[in-house]
Amino acid sequence: MKIKRIFSERISRPGPAAALPILALGAGGCGPNSEEIGRAMLLASPLVMLVFFGFARLLFVLWRKVRPDFSMRLAPVSWTTGALALLAILALALPYHDPNSDEGEVLNLTGVAIYLGGSTMLSAQLLLYLFLRLLAPPRAFTWSHLGALIILWPAPFLAFVPGSGVILDPAIMVWAFGGFWGIVPGVLLSIAILDAVLARRRHARIQAALS
């Protein structure tokens, strides 16, 4: 297995910090190829979408008492998650166009894709949420999940389109570094929760003053 060989030959201390070189080696042509990386990202994407849905639901519950005019429509995120799930199924079912691709490598790489690529997708979603919270608050909970698609768009091309490996290097740089091992989405989620909690406290003080 390519990934196991990378860990044993190139990484002396496997762990969270060791996941990044796997994608970096893929960009350099020494590890998983572009098709394997693209399909692994597609397999990871529905799970990441569900995780973000949980975050968005938590934020919506925190805001609901303060802003009853806010809404969270389930149809957009449901359709998006369903489309990503279909792509994930195709990533498992369709034959590989690269003879060096291997299904076992895709499955082995999926955990790395969830950890690194998923962190980047969550970062984009939370950034879009905070942006919409400032400029179009009622839409923040319904549409912020689309931030993941900004990050994920190269994956179907890498997975299914021969010759699309030219976009692999920039895609890997974004997927590997964008979430910074989960730190970026953790900080953004903390900011979003703090924003909601402070708004609830301000609302409670105003209500107490009026009563």
The pLDDT value recorded for residue 30 is 54
Give the pLDDT mean for 8-25: 42
pLDDT tens-place string over residues 107-134: 999 999 999 999 999 999 999 999 999 9
* pTM summary value: 0.86
The pLDDT value recorded for residue 19 is 47
pLDDT at 67 over 60: yes
Listed by start position, the domains of the chain span: 21-210
pLDDT at 4 over 60: no
Q: What is the DSSP string of 121-186?
A: HHHHHHHHHHHHHHH-GGGHHHHGGGHHHHHHTHHHHHHHSTTGGGGHHHHHHHHHHSSTTTHHHH
Q: Residue 112 in contact with residue 179, Cβ under 8 Å?
A: no
